[in-house]
A and B are shown apart, each in its own frame.
Chain A
Amino acid sequence: MSHVEKTSWISALALALATAWYVHDALPTGAPSLSSMVSIVVVMVVVEIVANIVIGVLGRGEAGGGLDERERAIVHRADSAGFYVLAAGAFTSAALLNLGFGTSLVFNLILGSLAAAEFAKLGMKILGLRLGA
């Protein structure tokens, strides 16, 4: 497994953890508290930093190599996929707001779009790297 694939897996798992935590906190009231959101972000950042340090140390110098041409092409395609997901979410949120839907729903839809876009990007990256294309 290449270094960029390992970091993608770490980001995907950290984001899944953060999303699950957010949904658990937001479900009863429609939106979590500010302190809860700060905690989610801090834990996610710490988990990613620690995990990346560990794979960097265990990776025997792979981490500093940068992306090669194939990896750059895969990342570029993944970024495009993520952009379209984010754009769809953003336009849907704007439409719902204009139709008079509640701000809590729109807020969660926007956050959900961000998370979905990131999942799409990471998923495309991992798939592209796994398939070799």
Chain B
Amino acid sequence: MKPCAIKNHIRRLRFEAGEMSQQALAERVGVTRQTINAIEQGKYSPSLEAAFRIAEVFGRPITEVFEYAP
């Protein structure tokens, strides 16, 4: 399985947001906890909509949450 070219800072942002759990973030974004875990580990690239929702939860621009690193 080739690694994702998109890196993210979700884990750090979760901890900065009052140690938000993966489950709590998943519920707010509308995906499962396993999907959030897969995104954090770089095993899954979220859809554009899910990526924007995650950024909205943290109140940050999407470019601060995800970065393209080929």
CB pair B50–A129 under 8 Å, yes or no, is: no
B22 at the interface (CB under 8 A from A): no
A68 vs B26: C-alpha distance in the bound complex, in angstroms? 10
Q: How many A-B residue pairs have CB under 8 A?
A: 35
Interface class of chain B by DSSP? loop
CB pair B1–A131 under 8 Å, yes or no, is: yes
Interface digits, A22-64 against B, CB 8 Å rule (1 contact, 0 not)? 0000000000000000000000000000000000000000000
Identify which of B6-14, B31-39, B60-68 touches chain A: B31-39
Interface class of chain A by DSSP? helix
Residues on A with beta carbons closer than 8 Å to the beta carbon of B35: 68-71
A132 vs B43: C-alpha distance in the bound complex, in angstroms? 6
Q: Please report B residues at the A interface, Cβ cutoff 8 Å.
A: 1, 30-35, 37-38, 41, 43-44, 46-47, 50
